[in-house]
Amino acid sequence: MRNFTRALLGLLILPLTATAQKNENPNSAISRNLEVFNDIYKQLDIFYVDSLNADTVIGWAIRSMLQHVDPFTTYYPENDEELRQMATGKYAGIGSVIRFHRKEDRAVISEPYEGTPSQKAGIKAGDVIMSIDGKDIKGMPTDQVSSMLRGEAGTTFELRIKRPGEEKERSFTITRQTIQMPQVPYYGIVRPGVGYIYLTGFTDGASREVRQALKELKTQGAQSLILDLRDNPGGALNEAVEITNLFVAKGKKVVSTKGKMTNTNREYLTATEPVDSLMPLVVLVDGGSASSSEIVCGSLQDMDRAVVMGTRTYGKGLVQMIRDVPYRGDLKITTSRYYIPSGRCIQAYDYRHLNPDGSVGIVPDSLTNIFHTSGGREVRDGGGIKPDVEVRPDSLPTLIYDLVGSEAFFDYATQFTQQHATIAPPGEFHLSDADYAEFVSYIKDAGFTYNRRSDEVLKLLKDVARREGYWDEAKDEFDALEAKFSNDLSADLNRFRDKIEPYVCDEIVHRYYYQRGGAQQQLSNDPCMDRALELLSDLKEYNKILGK
């Protein structure tokens, strides 16, 4: 089935006949290809040995075709909840993240959000979902369980769970409601005179939340601000313009868009007076900052209004719009590129010209062009926004990636919360030596295993040495290396405690203080945040970076 779907795709997107004329009218080429595609599917429907489901098979072809365009152009069939949630940040459900637990063979609650039906009902992270309205969910994938938890706002259902450490199941009657996750889960004064706003997305209302946070911080004495856009994937372009407008004067061009159709060519100007156009501003970014995040940090950089700090951003300079398709579907389609005030487009990936191995090509720095900020500083297009001050995160041992995603790590946090009624406030919480020793013991007893990359590289090197005839004379050295690389979990967990413990604390703090507390906890061990505070305490350096 997959093979003939690929064939359908190939017929759909490539020239189909050897007799096609080089100068064929584009409209004729479209008609010819669609006619061939239609005929092939009809013949498959009639003659193929098995029955075909049209929605499934043609759905595969559509999705495959769009994947060859760019990763942002997507088809959504009728009543698709993902599109509505992506645009508005809203959905109707209970307000919990779930994950699949292999040992239980069931979905479990990963995080109930504060103030939602799940949290108000008493649902906790680690609760194992047994049934939804009497239907056993054992073995169900998480997307199917999530769909069952969602529904029309105001509808009620029974949720049965089993809490770890308890023999008896618990039953909850929960009424679904419209859930809108805050785009600013945390803001506050992080040092006398310095405000902080953590923005996670750009769905409808994001600018309103940032405006409110900024005004409140100013009343609390904020004279400078850190705007955190790290791992913010973006969203609505107009929200990016309005957030930028909070910091720059009315009538300034923030971004312009250019596409094939004239109606996609627009300029977006700030429309209102700013909340504060003078306070020192640092914007934190990383490789997860994309799209609208890049419009905000890039335009503020181009206007010399803020110091951008962190690591280079993702590099998404494309704009999408939603178009109706027949039978109440929607097509999110890339219609234009955007250009920030200096005139640069920061698109990093060339989806139309792939590398020979099929990977997406990236614009090398050597081929980027120089542009200038309002004050004359050099900036470049292509490859995202390069920060004014680069702060790279500490490198992490590969053990951490395997550990944090493991069930043992998740289950330890669940056990900890059952044994401790309260913990210290966010930012002040840490594990005692006894707590960490208990963590190490728990992970070891849980049978956690991990693949060290050094072991993999050593194995490869040994294989090469054998093939090339060096094994006999190098065997002793290899044995010595293998002894040094011996997998001692307890030793590794203690060796890397300073890097592992912040992740354990973050997981635990989320159980008590939810998103807001988790954001605060992360700031307690954040080199980029420390550098931003250092810069804002030295306005001479701040102004020098901005060329003032």
pLDDT at 415: 97
Residues 6+ apart with CB under 8 A from 289: 229, 230, 231, 232, 297, 310, 313, 314, 385
**Are the C-beta atoms of residues 200 and 289 closer than 8 Å to each other?**
no
Which of 127, 228, 286, 302 does the annotation list as catalytic? 302
* CA angle centred on 342, ends 321 and 387, rounded to 5°: 90
**Which residue's entry shows tokens 């498959």?**
44
Residues 6+ apart with CB under 8 A from 533: 190, 191, 194, 226
Is the dihedral angle over the CA atoms 339, 340, 346, 347 positive or is it negative?
Answer: negative
Q: Which of 193, 233, 226, 230 is nearest to 210 (CA)?
A: 226
d(CA 137, CA 231): 32
DSSP-derived letter for residue 244 is: H
**Are the C-beta atoms of residues 332 and 308 closer than 8 Å to each other?**
no
HSE value, Cβ hemisphere, 13 Å, CA-based, for 459 = 7
d(CA 186, CA 182): 9
Q: Where are the beta strands (DSSP E) in 192-306?
A: 194-198, 224-228, 253-259, 266-269, 281-285
pLDDT at 450: 83
Digit-coded pLDDT (tens) for 505-543? 999 999 999 999 999 999 998 999 999 999 999 999 999
Q: What's the Cα-to-Cα distance from 252 to each of 212, 223, 503, rounded to whole Å?
A: 22, 23, 42
Parallel, antiparallel or unpaired: strands 156-162 and 135-136: unpaired
135 is catalytic: no
Length of the chain: 548
* CA angle centred on 54, ends 49 and 55, rounded to 5°: 140
Which of 207, 224, 289, 291 does the annotation list as catalytic? 291
Helix (H, G, I), strand (E, B) or coil at 97: strand
Q: What's the Cα-to-Cα distance from 419 to each of 35, 413, 423, rounded to whole Å?
A: 67, 10, 11
Which of 316, 388, 411, 506 does the annotation list as catalytic? 316
pLDDT at 18: 46
Helical spans, DSSP H, in 246-396: 292-302
User: For the chain, which residues score pLDDT lower than 70?
Assistant: 1-23, 87, 452, 454, 484-487
302 is catalytic: yes
pLDDT at 359: 80
d(CA 399, CA 500): 9
Q: Quick one: which H or E segment has residue 241?
A: helix 237-245
Q: What is the pTM of this model?
A: 0.87
Is the dihedral angle over the CA atoms 84, 87, 90, 95 positive or is it negative?
Answer: positive
d(CA 502, CA 371): 40
pLDDT at 253: 97
pLDDT at 457: 77
DSSP-derived letter for residue 393 is: P
pLDDT at 163: 96
d(CA 34, CA 52): 19
